[in-house]
A and B are shown apart, each in its own frame.
Chain A
Amino acid sequence: MSKRYIFLAVLLIGSAFGLTQLPEKPNKKQIPPDELLIKIYDQARYLTTREIAKRIIDRDPSIFLVDVRTPSEYEEYAIPGAFNIPLENILDDQWRDYLNQDGVDVIFYSNGTIYADQAWDLIAQRGIKNLYIMKGGLNEWFATIIKPVAPDETAPSEAFDQYAFEKAASIYFGGSSAGVDAAAPAEKKEVVVRKKKKKAAEGGC
């Protein structure tokens, strides 16, 4: 009888050891369509160009701008500090951890808003929370930040406050509008992407 027990014990230990040798499964979970629909309906994913400009000027370390256009477009002009991940490669495994950072807001932008929205849609399926889109894209960025238009004289004072901010931001980001020579050079920013810690034992059925 004791022989049988020993055999069972060895079998169990053996199979337990076998489990440790299984290949690591990448975390590829996908949220169900109904959860994605709720995210789609939520308009809070759109950030205005002014909000983003303000955060860049304030050197907010918790934003990560992602330029989803092609590398050649990115070379021509990109928002200071933006990182280029073309839309067609956005799902590649090498970018997985860039787009999923604790406490860092990932903001997609393109020329308009469509490509950024598509990138958002593909990545949001992973159930990641802090993903945003720059509403209006670079076209809006140039219309408001780089080349702001002065409000009418009859406009409310808020419009003038906003314009004052836009003019200052324009100088910061290298637009020429105000013609003032003091300008803060855009600095090289180093970002450390921390891998998300995995919970002790995840997955498994």
Chain B
Amino acid sequence: MEELKRTKRITIGVIAFIAVLVIGFLTVKKPVAVYKLSPQQMNDDLIMVYQVTPEEASEMMGDSVKNVFVDIRSIYDYEKDHLYGAVNIPIPNLLDKEIQEQFDQWKKDSVTVVLYGNDQLQANSPWMLMYQLGYDNTRVLLGGIKYYDDFMNGRLAENETFEMENPAYDFKKIIAEGSSDNSSVAAQAPQKEVVVRKKKKKAAEGGC
């Protein structure tokens, strides 16, 4: 009798334990999206060609099967003015389930997805995110919609460019002129010295 009671108790215990495990596994939160590239791989890929110039964009516009333009601005901005045939996916919605399925579909059909905002900067971070999620068919429109509109309508200022990283001034020369005017200025940027303190090692950290 005594023996039987004990076996029963053990059985109940084991069943309860397994039930806890199963519930635990079932309720694990599924991540919304997973990075396919590490930050290092992403950084290495930044030197590759991922941009679309306005000229290229106007050519791609003709082939709507192989190319799709995605407006990452708000619905309001999209309604006001958007590129011909563009789809509106505001930045906060980029990771929605349906949107990801759409991106998966585009990738499967090897459609080139061009993200654009008001300028290149607005589309830059969203592009990096989507690229890092493994959608390597995404590109960025250089200059954004404003530059594109001006480009198509011939309203560009004389030396307007979509290359944001080109220096617009001769930095060194301007500073040299400035310092010759003001006799005592030390205009050269001083090198900043940074002292990193070594961290004391704690006895036991991490490890699985």
State the A residues within 8 Å of B (CB): 19-20, 22-25, 30, 32-34, 36-38, 40-41, 73-74, 76-83, 87-88, 90-91, 97-98, 110-115, 117-118, 120-122, 125, 137-139, 142-143, 146-147, 170-171, 173-177, 179-183, 185-198, 200-205
Contact = CB atoms under 8 A, between A and B. Distances in A.
13 contacts: A32-B32, A33-B95, A73-B167, A76-B171, A77-B175, A79-B189, A114-B124, A118-B43, A139-B169, A174-B175, A176-B174, A181-B182, A201-B202
A202 B61 CA distance: 52
A81 B192 contact: yes
Per CB-CB distance, the 10 closest pairs between chain A and chain B, nearest first, are: A112-B164, A203-B206, A174-B187, A77-B171, A176-B178, A22-B207, A78-B189, A25-B206, A176-B181, A185-B186
B184 to A, nearest CB: 6
Question: Chain B binding site: helix, strand, loop or mixed by DSSP?
Answer: loop
Nearest to A120: B125
A142 B197 contact: no
Contacts of A38: 92
Name which of B34, B46, B183 has the most chain A CB atoms within 10 A of its CB: B46
B174 A142 contact: yes
A198 B208 CA distance: 18
Contact of A186 (B35, B181, B189, B196): B189
Contact of A122 (B42, B126, B182): B42
A43 to B, nearest CB: 10
B187 A179 contact: no
A79 B191 CA distance: 10
A23 B205 CA distance: 9
Contacts of B175: 77, 146, 174-175
Interface in B142-186: 163-169, 171-172, 174-175, 177-186
Contact of A25 (B121, B163, B205): B205
B94 A37 contact: yes
Contacts of A76: 171-172
Contacts, number: 209
B167 A138 contact: yes
B9 interface: no
Contacts of A173: 187
Nearest to B91: A41
Contact of B196 (A25, A97, A143, A182): A97
Contacts of B187: 173-174, 186
Interface residues of B, number: 65
B81 interface: no
B85 interface: no
Contacts of A205: 208
Given A20-B203, A24-B201, A175 B174 contact: yes
Given A20-B203, A76-B172, A194 B39 contact: no
Contact of B39 (A91, A177, A183): A91
Contacts of B168: 139, 142-143
Contacts of B80: none
Contacts of A177: 178
Interface string B88-116: 00011011000000000000000000000
B33 interface: yes
Given A122-B43, A192-B197, A20 B204 contact: yes
Contacts of A40: 91, 125-126, 129
B128 A198 contact: no
B8 interface: no
A183 B170 CA distance: 22
Contacts of B172: 76-77
Contacts of B178: 146, 170, 174-177
A195 B197 contact: yes
Contacts of A117: 121, 124-125
Name which of A80, A97, A121, A195 has the most chain B CB atoms within 10 A of its CB: A121
